[in-house]
Structure 1
Amino acid sequence: MMRRCVFLCSVLWLLLWQTDPARAAAAALAWTPQGDLVLFEDHADQRRAPASLVKCMTALLVCDAAANGTLRWEAPVAAPPDVAAVTGARLGLVPGQEVPAQELLAALLIGSANDAAVALAVQVAGSVHAFVTAMNARAAGLGLTGTRFATPHGLPAPNQYTTARDMARLAWALLEHYPYVVNFSAMPSCQVRGVALYNRNDLLHLPGVDGLKTGATAEAGACLILTALRQERRVIVVLLGARDAAARAKEAAALLEQAFAALPQ
């Protein structure tokens, strides 16, 4: 009886949360892959700019390449000639600079380095264009029908969009096949080639939180894929289009706690 009461109260809270005019995010989803259970959704299929959440697909393709042997983690990756032109968050790569693939993956997931994304894309597919084609093919294979990629890093580009539901599915594909990525995404900071990189996920201190990716542009707003594992149960929360990073963190933390509380016992 008590469990049923807690569950009903949690559901009621989620319904009230959905109608709260003070909400920060334009689209949201809380979902557990265990049982494919949607715990909360609001505009979860609305197409929106993804910002750096795109890097989850970049990481998935890079891990695919490592799994099939076309990329070795310890092998040096040479930065392409146009890498210095990449804007936004950067590792500071210069053309021809060689950095092991594993360190570039760390820079991608922890520091959200856009130049690391480009270097990995060219290494895996030969060019950014070919890599983006592979990103969209992988998305189609995962059934991400509301998503189209145009870059490996998520900087604003025409006709690049996603949905909260698709980002949750992408996050689970990455975690299910390559669980080691949380060794990076759960790190608050790291150093790569002497450059200090800081994780922008403000919720890593919460119980069980191990990732996964933040993003923010003027076009996309503040975005987040938040993942947590508690007592062998995984919850994935996605927020798109939040007002700012502080509002994003507050809303995601509240939704995460209520989502775990709403899980069937």
Structure 2
Amino acid sequence: MKKFLFSIFFVLCLSSCSTGFVYNNLDWLVHWYIDDYVDLNAEQEAVFDDYMRQWLNWHRSEELVAYRQHLQELKSRIEHTPLDRAQWLSEFERGRTHWNRLLQEVAGDLSTLALKLDDKQIESIFDELEKRNREREQRQKSRDDSRRTDKLQEDIVQWIGPLSKPQKELLRRYSGKLKPNFKDWMQYRRKWQSEARQILLQREDTERWRRAMDAVVLDPRQFEHQTYREQSAYNRNVYASLLADLHAGLSERQKAHLQEEIEDLIRDLSDLMGDG
């Protein structure tokens, strides 16, 4: 669980104290990120910049409103009664819809941009992706179960403050229930990347090709094998149960801490939208 509320909604860097700086400079930050994967020529950069401006305008005018509404509703709900496991799972699913809307918005533009890349650039992208796959695998070898518990505790403390001994024990128990699925996740990533690479190397501006591209962008879960899907569903249930048990046992001070953290995010969103 990367953030206590990460599965609830998709907003990059919203929990950072530099939210406004990050969001308002996403254009050049994305360029910096993309440069690690592919070198764009001047014409390609101009086309990308135009799309990036459109995406950011859309995101600021429409998506931030949805994120804020979601957080406001969540804040109100958890203020009055603890959420149970099923309710947390529903929040996770609602968070997924935010991400899906983003993919829907950019999918067609990504296809158009892909048509402007040459084979060398495409190979560069997937060479870098595989390099990072291997780096993840190398880092994973040095990790153990205690690191997972520590990271989970760090994330939760950020949202509710210091934990009591019973809460730490609760966290340890639930962390022990999680099924390791790193290898299956990497298998899924490589399958998705392989399919995307093949489609991109056969690119041509036809309706059939664009449908294939949309399928890769909009439905990456089609490349998950059954074992990984079952593990992921199981782990989501574990996380939801953990949140339900933690939420039910929060002290008044922790409840206030959580409410203030969420309120801070709501204020950040209002500031980004220009009506804070």
For the aligned pair, the TM-score class normalised by the smaller chain equals under 0.3
- TM-score normalised by structure 1 residue count: 0.27
Between structure 1 and structure 2, the one with the greater Rg is 2
Structure with the larger strand share: 1
- TM-score normalised by structure 2 residue count: 0.26
Greater RCO, 1 or 2 (C-alpha within 8 Å, sep 6+): 2
